[in-house]
Amino acid sequence: MSKDNRIIVFDTTLRDGEQSPGCTMNIKEKLEIAHQLARLGVDVIEAGFPISSQGDFEAVKLIATEVQGPTICGLARATEKDIVRCGEAVAPAKKGRIHTFIATSQIHLEKKLRMSKEQVIENASKAVALAKTFTQDVEFSCEDAGRTDWDYMVEVITAAIDAGATTINVPDTVGYCTPWQFGDCIAYLRSKVRNADKAIFSVHCHNDLGMAVANSLSAIRSGARQVECTINGIGERAGNASLEEIVMNLQVRKDFYEFTTNIKASEIYRTSRLVSKTTGMKVQRNKAIVGANAFAHEAGIHQDGVLKERTTYEIMCAEDVGWSGEQMVLGKHSGRHAFKTRLVQLGYDTLTDDQVNKAFTRFKDLCDKKKDIFDEDLYAIVEEEVQKDDETYTLDYVGFSTGTETVPTATVKLRIGGDIVMDASVGDGPVDAAFKAVQRITNIEAALHEYSLEAVTGGRDALGQVTVVLEEGGRTVRARAASTDVLVASVKAYLNAVNKLIALHNAPPQEVVPKRGM
Ligand code: KIV
Ligand code: ZN
């Protein structure tokens, strides 16, 4: 396969993915994901939108300083202020990119920008030229390209390339295009833009009509050589094109597409897991490639076929994407060494000794309550220990009194520093009562936007994993916790979320710019 057949994978999980409602990540979480994206083999990491907040600026700068391998990119509107800030943020990277954009569709020009077509072209050129003073690697996007007149886009793109853009991105910002139309659009642009050979054409598709992956693949067939995508397809509204789906389409059907990527497919499952737990965005069970049912066979006729010959009903193996399935991995008699070895195999190779020790203690407790321990249990245990760094309060005790004839009551004791604080509350149910007790102790009056409970594995002794989303003063956080006792899991998840909110209080105030739009 020639070099021209390699597709550049541009991951925007940390930027567009973070724009999913409730998906905000802190700087430490972003860095952890960025390291995993590098391990996965993405070519470009869009690490954030530096002008949008101090936190985003710092996250992009930190990733640019610490993450080796991929190009580190920051987003900037086509304004001087944005570009200068973005240039500063990506400066430490060995390979830094500025991605600047302006809307080009008629509706955006008239209603949002209130600019003429000529003004937009001038803005685009100036923005690219300014970005070039910071780095040679400049990407330009025509926002809402999917609804932009093609001939006008030819003019904008030609000007952007003349000004020095090395990548031209064509986003279907509102997920409006059909695969045929989008493919034709890319082919048209490449044939009409006179200097098209001086830039790589890229696509960035949203999933409003469920077409993001199909549109991206169609664009690749028409000459796009960069795809912008996110892990698990997270992103604005219905999300972005899913990285794992694009990559596995290219890999499984290379007979048809004849393209390759640098992605190490065996890292896909681990990356999906990490993004899901960090953002709290669950992966739907039947999601292609990474959903829990993606490799499960229910119908007897399928099971029979797979047992006789796997390929009768499977076009790829779970192991190809790094999923080992639900097998018993460790048990009561497993020692710390076996435990740590398994964690490293699961990708937890940067845990401190203290984190491993705490996770091991929890593992041993779990072995007393649950016969078989699966990888999913280990993920749940470790994820909780890792997220505990920002802890102000820890749970010391929780007790419940509840039943059909009883007013549900919860008593909660929390540890803060060396002190123990205790309170009790009644509620609509035991969970509500415990949440109220935590609220009274911590004085954090947050609105509960989401509460969900699911079993981590099968079986009556399964760990119950609770996810909560809390909102306080415009800031939304998600947190999870797991326990064989779902009431305890609920209180722990709530407390983890409260601790996250407290960590945000302690963060320096931020200038907040809308995540997109001008
Ligand atoms: O969807 C979009 O248009 C974007 C651009 C900023 C590339 O995210
Ligand atoms: Zn987007």
Taking the CA of 146 as reference, the closest ligand is: 1
Higher pLDDT, 168 or 468: 168
Please check whether residue 221 is in contact with residue 183, taking contact to mean a CB–CB distance below 8 angstroms. yes
Q: How far apart are CA 14 and CA 47, in angstroms?
A: 5
Q: Which fold has domain 8-279?
A: TIM Barrel (3.20.20)
Tell me the chain's radius of gyration from C-alpha atoms: 25
Tell how far the Cα of 175 is from the centroid of ligand 2, in angstroms: 9
Domain boundaries of the chain, sorted by first residue: 8-279, 291-318, 391-506
**Cβ of residue 17 lying under 6 Å from some atom of ligand 1:** no
Task: Answer yes or no: is pLDDT of 186 > 70.
Answer: yes
Which region among 21-30, 151-160, 249-258 has the lowest average model confidence (pLDDT)?
Answer: 21-30
Higher pLDDT, 409 or 384: 409
Q: How far apart are CA 498 and CA 382, in angstroms?
A: 19
Pocket-testing residue among 13, 15, 16, ligand 1, by greatest number of atoms within 8 A of Cβ: 16
**Cβ of residue 101 lying under 6 Å from some atom of ligand 1:** yes
Which region among 157-171, 260-274, 321-335, 485-499 has the lowest average model confidence (pLDDT)?
Answer: 321-335
pLDDT on residue 2: 46
Arithmetic mean of pLDDT over the chain: 91
Average pLDDT over residues 436-453: 94
**Cβ of residue 171 lying under 6 Å from some atom of ligand 1:** yes
Q: How far apart are CA 72 and CA 26, in angstroms?
A: 18
Tell how far the Cα of 331 is from the centroid of ligand 2, in angstroms: 45
Closest CA to 251 of 240, 243, 238, 260: 260
Helix 375-386 and helix 353-369, axial crossing angle in degrees, nearest 10:
130
Residues contacting residue 408 through CB under 8 Å, at least 6 positions apart = 400, 401, 402, 426, 427, 428, 429, 430, 432, 433
pLDDT on residue 327: 60
Average pLDDT over residues 391-413: 95
Pocket-testing residue among 51, 105, 144, 204, ligand 1, by greatest number of atoms within 8 A of Cβ: 204
Residue nearest to atom 2 of ligand 1 (CA): 173
Tell how far the Cα of 230 is from the centroid of ligand 1, in angstroms: 12
Tell how far the Cα of 174 is from the centroid of ligand 2, in angstroms: 8
The pLDDT tens digits of the residues spanning 313-331 come to: 888 988 899 987 656 578 8
The pLDDT tens digits of the residues spanning 485-495 come to: 999 999 999 99
Task: Answer yes or no: is pLDDT of 513 > 80.
Answer: no
Residue 147: beta bridge partners? none
**Cβ of residue 173 lying under 6 Å from some atom of ligand 1:** yes
Task: Answer yes or no: is pLDDT of 65 > 60.
Answer: yes
Secondary structure in 3-state letters for 384-413: HHHHHHHCCEEEEEEEEECCCCCCCEEEEE
Evaluate the CA torsion angle 307, 310, 312, 314 in order and state its sign: positive
> pTM of this prediction?
0.85
Task: Answer yes or no: is pLDDT of 518 > 50.
Answer: no
**Cβ of residue 204 lying under 6 Å from some atom of ligand 1:** yes
pLDDT on residue 67: 98
**Cβ of residue 49 lying under 6 Å from some atom of ligand 1:** no
Tell how far the Cα of 240 is from the centroid of ligand 2, in angstroms: 7
Measured CA angle at 231 (ends 219, 238), to 5 deg: 70
Measured CA angle at 293 (ends 289, 294), to 5 deg: 25
Nearest atom (ligand 1) to Cα of 19 = 8
Nearest atom (ligand 1) to Cα of 145 = 3
Evaluate the CA torsion angle 290, 75, 142, 195 in order and state its sign: negative
Task: Answer yes or no: is pLDDT of 1 > 50.
Answer: no
Instruction: Give percent above pLDDT 90 in the chain.
Output: 67
Tokens of 2: 């020639």
**Cβ of residue 340 lying under 6 Å from some atom of ligand 1:** no
Q: How far apart are CA 396 and CA 119, in angstroms?
A: 62
Higher pLDDT, 291 or 214: 214
Measured CA angle at 285 (ends 254, 30), to 5 deg: 80
DSSP letters spanning 125-165:
HHHHHHHHTT-S-EEEEEETGGGS-HHHHHHHHHHHHHTT-
Please check whether residue 480 is in contact with residue 466, taking contact to mean a CB–CB distance below 8 angstroms. yes
Residue 103 backbone phi and psi in degrees, to 5:
-75, 145
Q: Which residue type, as a one-letter code, is found at position 390?
A: D
Which region among 45-54, 247-256, 282-291, 306-315 has the lowest average model confidence (pLDDT)?
Answer: 306-315
**Cβ of residue 141 lying under 6 Å from some atom of ligand 1:** yes
Tokens of 331: 């048990």
Q: In a 3-state reduction of DSSP, which class is residue 185?
A: helix
Q: Which fold has domain 391-506?
A: Double Stranded RNA Binding Domain (3.30.160)
The pLDDT tens digits of the residues spanning 78-131 come to: 999 999 999 999 999 999 999 999 999 999 999 999 999 999 999 999 999 999
Average pLDDT over residues 381-403: 85
Nearest atom (ligand 1) to Cα of 206 = 1
Q: How far apart are CA 340 and CA 168, in angstroms?
A: 45
